[in-house]
Amino acid sequence: MLDLDRLLRFAVEERASDVHLKVGARPHVRVDGALRESAQEVLAPDDTEQLAGRILPSDQAAGLRYGREADGVYSIQGVGRFRVSAFGQQGQVAFVLRRIVPGVPGIDALGLPPVATTLADAPSGLVLVSGLAGSGRTSTLAAMVDHVNSSRSAHIVTIEQPIEVVHTDKRAVIDQREVGRDTETFAIALGAVAHQDPDVVVVGALPDADTAMSALEVAGAGRLVLAVSQAVGAPDAVTRLIDRFPPAQRAPVRSLLARTLQGVLCQRLLPRAGGRGRVPAVEVLVANGPVSEALADSESPEKIQALVAEGEMWGMQTFDQSLAALYRRGLVTRENALAHATYEPAVSVMLDEADRTRAAMAAARPEMPVTEPTSEMATPLA
């Protein structure tokens, strides 16, 4: 029989981010982005069915038999909390459990660019935290919320499904609402939030046009909205948001977005050079005058991407510029930088330039004179 608690303790010891469970296979863990097979026994149908009954509410466990999915949080005293995603596959129950790292990371500790702090300090407007699944969006959002919590007197309302990072009040007062438990949907919660005297509203997902419009309206009413979205790049996050709406509604949505958008952070995680762990490459869009005009005028994503590439003085950077900066700092290898590049030839040129600069600095560095040891000098320990 599967000993889930023991498996999750092992996962934490190995610094795994996810645990995969399915019938007919050994449990797998994801470490530094790579899936690894564990030494646990192959899972039988009873293992995952009993697990569903143990860690999920009875109605959700029963719903798995009818093709439904279930989400929740599982906690082990002294080990940690895990986000649970249960689903059917080939007629059997399967699970993915993602570790919720204890504590709230700081913006600097995550390796995020300074503009993340600037965006979190915005008095109002919309900030999108985007990327693909597993890109660290949850940690980035938690760090930005913690920055607000630590730096200003404010009322923060979060709307999540499920609640992953539990915040405690510091300078701010935080109310965390979970979809499916404290409210029915993201859109309903956003529709009610204006009556809850919020300064900052955090939205864990923008699943549909109603939710996206509600988020834009809250931002337009003078609140700061921090929202998670799925995208491959910062301009793509904007395009996907607009494309949620029918064509007839997109022009007014663009106009509202041009007035309310503060910025977009979009990230990918890369293996850290020379050690365990991963580091974020972050594309940053800041809604300065030219960007807002481009949004209002229905300019192409390519035009907005060009503005990002030219916007260093505003704190903007493309993914490729971020990759080159990480390589210059020795945080990622050349191989991984090129593998994650948007335009590999351009990144290769930037990395070559970094190599030449590094070589020139090494050549210019004066050699230290070699001093012969004397009897008066300390003898190294054997």
Q: What's residue 10's pLDDT?
A: 94
Q: What's residue 365's pLDDT?
A: 75
Q: What's residue 234's pLDDT?
A: 96
Q: What's residue 139's pLDDT?
A: 94
**pLDDT higher than 60, residue 372:** no
Q: What's residue 103's pLDDT?
A: 82
Enumerate residues 6+ apart whose C-beta is below 8 A from 174: 145, 149, 156, 157, 158, 167, 168
pLDDT tens, 201-221?
999 999 999 999 999 999 999
The structure tokens listed for 307 are 């503005």
CA-based torsion, 303, 307, 310, 315: positive or negative: negative
Q: What's residue 369's pLDDT?
A: 60
Give the other-Cβ count within 10 Å of 1's Cβ.
10
Residue 101: band (very low, low, confident or very high) from pLDDT cuts 50, 70, 90: confident
Torsion from C-alpha of 71, 104, 235, 224, nearest 10 degrees: 100
pLDDT tens, 243-267?
999 999 999 999 999 999 999 999 9
125: left (phi over 0), alpha (psi -120 to 50) or beta: left
**pLDDT higher than 80, residue 370:** no
Domains (range + CATH), the chain: 4-100 (3.30.450.90), 115-317 (3.40.50.300)
pLDDT tens, 34-61?
899 998 899 999 999 999 999 988 888 8
DSSP 111: T
Mean pLDDT of the chain: 92
pLDDT tens, 308-333?
999 999 999 999 999 999 999 999 99
Nearest residue to 237 (alpha-carbon basis) of 257, 217, 251, 252: 257
Residue 374: band (very low, low, confident or very high) from pLDDT cuts 50, 70, 90: very low
Instruction: Give Rg (Cα) of the chain.
Output: 24
**pLDDT higher than 50, residue 382:** no
* Contact call for residues 98 and 80 (beta carbons, < 8 A): no
DSSP string, 216-251: HHHHHTT-EEEEEEE-SSHHHHHHHHHHTS-GGGHH
Residue 381: band (very low, low, confident or very high) from pLDDT cuts 50, 70, 90: very low
pLDDT tens, 349-364?
999 999 999 888 888 8
Q: What's residue 377's pLDDT?
A: 32
Q: What are phi and psi of 194, to 5 degrees?
A: -60, -25
Lowest mean pLDDT segment, chosen from 92-106, 157-171, 330-344:
92-106
